[in-house]
Structure 1
Amino acid sequence: MAKYFLILVALVMGYCRGNRIYTLTASEFLNSRTQDTEIYVLDSNFTTNGDSDEIYTIENATSTTGETADTRSTGKETHLEEITMDDVDDFRGKLRRFAANFYNQLRRVTDENQNIVYSPISISHALGMVNTGARGNSSTQIKKSFQLEADTKDSYIDAIFKNITFKKFNGSLDLEIMKIMVARSYIQSSLVVQPDFIDNIQDKYHSDVVSVDFDDSKNVTKRINQWVEEETQELIKDLIAPGIITPFTQVVLVNALYFKAPWATKFDEDTPRDFATPSGKVTVPFMDAVIECHHDENDHYVQIAVPYKDDKTFFVIILPHTAEHMKLFESEEIIEEFFEGLPHRISTGWGRRYIKLFLPKFSVDQSIKADKILKTMGVNDIFTESLANLTGISEGLFVSDFVHKAKLSVDERGTEAAAASAAVMARRSLVDEVFVNRPFIFGIVETEGDILFMGKIVNPSGK
């Protein structure tokens, strides 16, 4: 049987500044539903007005007899696996180990002079969507990468992802703290799709579903890139390169994460300072502030959690004293254990006190072939044409590409209200000074334990 392509695109942006706000719009169209086999058929005769994307909604599905389908819009509730907050916290800990494992595998294939940035929650969310349609060993390998047992119910995973991502997909009431995820699934108009898959990606993973014709691959590539460009306020263009989407493509799953937050305490622009890279010193712009933060230090590294204005999200810095200490921290056992227990460390293990922090300003972006990294983590079958079992989506699919892109900028900007620091300024001479003037690992972490971004800065100049 011929295999067809499923493509994953995880697009992420991170900003500690700016005023970009997402708005989402969706229109609805009717699709036919094969009532006897309980399988959705996306209407091959569907057309759109111009290049706009029409959104498929189960609530408006109709049966082949013309009757309204029995869906959530008529009162039918989708079964949601019963979970407790302990279940959610436990899975979040496993996803943090996943994040650390992905970091280590990515680090091993990245030049030592290159900065690293990626979004663990974006990648795990996309992989969770695939697991919804994976069966047999294809699903087992994904679950093992999440540190889960092979017999873990898919409904359990879906329910936890819904719990974890709900607030991010619905935005924040505080317009100064922007954490917004969006997702869209592009499906070949003639593809026969299992109904549970459509149900789950819409309900549990908050994804729009769009019917397209991949035979016109250039036009679909253009449409997806235009959507990405619009959602990122034109910051990221041409995400999908020519040739990735072909007439064999059947499904493209896309998610995007946008983050913008001012510091709890505004930084001031500092004079340029030296930063020790692996290949020598470079002079880069710095910023400084006296801040109240979670802070700890041992014989190997300094640990700092710099709060954003909501005091629920932190820019975590792990600053090893030497290159040897960096290698020690990056060992698989230490880094995975560290990030798994990070929320507890911040809340109870690290003291909260004032320090004067000198931090380099930087902007970092990276494009990653995430499929290559996931293969080193044991997720192989979904990317292998002869082994992939994605029959929970449709027959004959495998994942041909998993493209991930992240962009993060950090500078001194924040709101003026956050800079009311007369009492703090009076303590300047009494606080310890911490100079982040050598390679460091960072993470943007929420108090709930989700790692939005993670990476490593070896050269803030990016050169």
Structure 2
Amino acid sequence: MTIRRLAPLVASLLGVGAAHCNSNPPPESQTPSTAQPQPPAEPIATAPTPAPSASTMPSASDTPASSATSPEIVTRFAHDSNLFGFDLYQRVRTQKGNIAVSSASITTALTMTWAGAKGDTADQMRKVLHLEGTPQEVLQSAGKLSSALQEPARPIKFRIANRLFGEKTFKFESPFLESTKAAFGAPLEGVDFIKAPEPARVRINTWVEEQTEKRIKDLIPAGVIKTDARLVLVNAIYFLGDWNTPFDKERTKPAAFQLSATSKKDVPTMRREDRLRFVQQDGLKALEIGYKGGQMSMLFVLPDKVDGVEALEKSLDNGKIADLVSALQPQTVNVTLPRFEINPTASLALGERLQEMGMPLAFDRRKADFTGIANPPSPQDRLYISDVFHKAFVKVDEKGTEAAAATAVVMMRATAMPMPEKVAQFHADHPFLFFIRDNATGMILFNGRVSDPSAK
């Protein structure tokens, strides 16, 4: 008799759009709401809540929505996510071509899973995810950060949606369900993995499409969900932001992009000269372009050498990105930037990479301890992670943004004419990296590499 699986236990994904990338974006009225999740499609069994103990997971009352939010609480989970994200990217970057990932999405899905892990399984996951604090503190930090990022007053569209899809006849621990719902807004939806695994997979993928404006399709590949699957935890992120100042579409012209030292092709290239935050140092240039409202921005990092992106990827970590951002200074910059879209057909399977990073127990069907999620009497029914799937979409173009003007009248005494400010040059005409960041917390929401702007 096979051990019952969470197969896959975690399905992590993201959908991103930038600056009205669709010529016909979905109307606001079609945007699914995550404030009031739909009830489970099927009734589902849950284990009774045990008496409180040191090992009991936090319930909704442990993370009150009305508690005061300190900057430290909000930024703690962002910092942990970034550390994990750079560790994971070192494993992912060996893949050729364009890459897009969301460590924010992957961290969220895995943290929900960690909330039900115990013993050495939990310790390994905590170390790989760089989580600090008690489970209550971690979940509170994640929940507060999620709320801050989705603040309705922001002029960008940013949505985080989480859901648990569980076998409708399987008993899950009530404290786990309560804590994930309280912190992540993740309701449990009952599905029939035992008798109808393929319709269950289709249902999950359909939910993902709905949450990402149909940008992420077929997250879970055919054949992955089998009759012994018991739970799939899903995170979806969708972002749509307008540049503070748009690129003039009429100035977009074909220009050469160096694919390598010996190969190049013409790609549609946007042009703009503006006062932006920029720095040139240590064999690279970094440029920040802000989104409307100023809360989020995109950081472009361009190596001086045409073939320098691999060495750049090896050298970057969370601390170096933070140092780069601190070094940025307002300057007039002449920018050329290719339009690009990263839209992979296949999901990334991250299971092997996560095991290599130091959490093999979670994937071990004999030793994994997820009894905080479900604690069936038979060891043959206990849960483990079979795989983790991730897919990201990123598209950058000219459109977006509200135009704004500022006037400063500075009266000076008549003296010698000042030397005109030198115009910096940021010409992204060879492979580069990008990072979509929340400016207040420093959280990296999406990042990746553009090796060929013409390739999707």
Superposition deviation, residue 326 in structure 1? 3.3
Q: TM-score, normalised by structure 2?
A: 0.82
SS at match of 1:456: strand
1:38–1:194 contact (8 Å) kept in structure 2: no
Q: Is 1:106 the counterpart of 2:89 in the alignment? A: no
* Structure 2 unaligned regions, length at least 5: 53-58, 376-381, 409-419
Counterpart of 1:309?
A: 292
Q: Is 1:438 the counterpart of 2:430 in the alignment? A: yes
Residues 30-85 of structure 1: per-residue CA shift (max 9 Å, x gap): 7666558579xxxxxxxxxxxxxxxxxxxxxxxxxxxxxxx96xxxx335699853
Identity of aligned residues (%): 26
Counterpart of 2:62?
A: 78
Q: Aligned match of 1:23 in 32, 54, 59?
A: 32
SS at match of 2:403: helix
Counterpart of 1:53?
A: none
Residues 415-454 of structure 1: per-residue CA shift (max 9 Å, x gap): 4x4276999xxxx996323211011111000112111101
Counterpart of 2:320?
A: 338
Q: Is 1:166 the counterpart of 2:147 in the alignment? A: yes
Q: Is 1:391 the counterpart of 2:391 in the alignment? A: no
Partner Cα distance (1:15, 1:455) in 2: 14
Q: Aligned match of 2:399 in 401, 410, 413?
A: 413
- Tell me: CA distance 1:231–1:79, structure 2 relative to 1, closer, same or farther (3 Å): closer
Partner Cα distance (1:196, 1:277) in 2: 52
Write the letter of the residue equivalent to 1:9: A
Counterpart of 1:222?
A: 202
* Structure 1 unaligned regions, length at least 5: 40-70
Partner Cα distance (2:255, 2:421) in 1: 21
2:5–2:229 contact (8 Å) kept in structure 1: yes
Superposition deviation, residue 90 in structure 1? 4.5
- Tell me: CA distance 1:35–1:184, structure 2 relative to 1, closer, same or farther (3 Å): closer
- Tell me: CA distance 1:85–1:17, structure 2 relative to 1, closer, same or farther (3 Å): closer
Partner Cα distance (1:236, 1:336) in 2: 27
Counterpart of 1:188?
A: 167
- Tell me: CA distance 1:243–1:322, structure 2 relative to 1, closer, same or farther (3 Å): same
Q: Aligned match of 1:243 in 223, 240, 259?
A: 223
Partner Cα distance (2:48, 2:295) in 1: 47
1:96–1:451 contact (8 Å) kept in structure 2: yes
Superposition deviation, residue 323 in structure 1? 5.2
Partner Cα distance (2:49, 2:455) in 1: 58
- Tell me: CA distance 1:222–1:295, structure 2 relative to 1, closer, same or farther (3 Å): same
Q: TM-score, normalised by structure 1?
A: 0.81
Write the letter of the residue equivalent to 1:155: Q
Give me the CA root mean square deviation.
2.8
Residues 165-205 of structure 1: per-residue CA shift (max 9 Å, x gap): 1234x45334x411111111101111111111101110011
SS at match of 2:386: strand
- Tell me: CA distance 1:17–1:36, structure 2 relative to 1, closer, same or farther (3 Å): closer
Q: Is 1:453 the counterpart of 2:446 in the alignment? A: yes
**What are the residue-to-residue correspondences of 1:43-192 with 2, within 5 Å?**
77-78=61-62, 84-108=70-94, 110-111=95-96, 114-148=97-131, 152-168=133-149, 170=150, 172-174=152-154, 176-192=155-171
Superposition deviation, residue 380 in structure 1? 1.5
1:105–1:376 contact (8 Å) kept in structure 2: no
